[in-house]
A and B are shown apart, each in its own frame.
Chain A
Amino acid sequence: MVKAYAQEHVYKHPWEIVTSASWRKFADPENKRTLSHVLDVDTLNHKLDAESGKLYTTRAITIHAPGPWFVRKIVGQDICHCVESTVVDGQSRSMQLTTRNISLQKFIEVEERIRYDPHPDNPRGWTMCKQETSIRIKPLSALASMAEKVEQRCAERFLQNSVKGREVMERICKYLESESRGITF
């Protein structure tokens, strides 16, 4: 069984600013209080294709996801490692992030895809963010009998966190914009 949902959000900031903010979202200690579920972010790998202007990055994101007691009892851990791969195409101005959990995979698979593109109505000024999340409890896992409940809880958590994520993004965008006013673009 798969639970999937999609969200869209328009940032009234240019793509350059929004994608800069996306890189800083977890790394800035200022945001750790808001996004307290994110414990650590490490860059594992990166590659720049200087010909085409594409940047590939793999990061590890360590998340604290305690979940309800009945899940904790089965799963036995509340730290989850995720791997995020990002492709930024500087030429066509697109950024795509895909995040998957790599721990607890025998119980659950969560995949989150986010895309940032210039908004068609105002490509220089606004950015369209499209986010898709799918949550899948493995059919034969110990969680399968309560799959629906776990998926629901997980989806709620994701929604809460994506709202917090947007708040953080807005704040960094504003900060970057005020900073860049001092610099000639």
Chain B
Amino acid sequence: MGIIREKKPKSSSPSSTSPCADLRAAYHNCFNRWYSEKFVKGQWQKEECVAEWQQYRACLSEHLEDKHLSRFLEAEGLDGTARADSANVADGAETNS
């Protein structure tokens, strides 16, 4: 089990073909920070990274060629899949408590 040496983080994103890679990295970095520093500590009242998300999403909707995938992008709010999952989480919560 080799430990992979830490290189300088995020200096360049290697081999990504997506033209949205930079916007994606900006959004994901912002999201990850928000998730670890706010969300898990109960500070979920305010949505953050909104500007990053809007720019990234606009790029995606322009470049996402796969029809199966754009279906998920177009759905405002969330589709059936996610709703089914949230129902499962509710089930799980009941069995856990």
Contact = CB atoms under 8 A, between A and B. Distances in A.
Nearest to A32: B14
Contact of B1 (A46, A167, A185): A167
B10 A56 contact: no
Interface in B1-59: 1, 3-4, 6-7, 9-10, 12-18, 20, 24-25, 27-28, 31-32, 35-37, 39-42, 44-47, 53, 56
B60 A16 contact: no
Interface residues of B, number: 55
Contacts of B13: 29
Contact of B89 (A30, A32, A44, A94): A94
Interface in A156-185: 167, 171, 175-176, 180, 183, 185
A87 interface: yes
A60 to B, nearest CB: 5
Interface of B: 1, 3-4, 6-7, 9-10, 12-18, 20, 24-25, 27-28, 31-32, 35-37, 39-42, 44-47, 53, 56, 60, 64, 66, 68-69, 72-73, 75, 77-79, 81-82, 85-86, 88-89, 92-93, 96-97
Interface of A: 15-17, 19-20, 23-24, 27-30, 32-34, 40, 42-48, 50, 53-56, 58, 60, 81, 83, 85-90, 92, 94, 96, 98, 100, 102-103, 115, 117, 167, 171, 175-176, 180, 183, 185
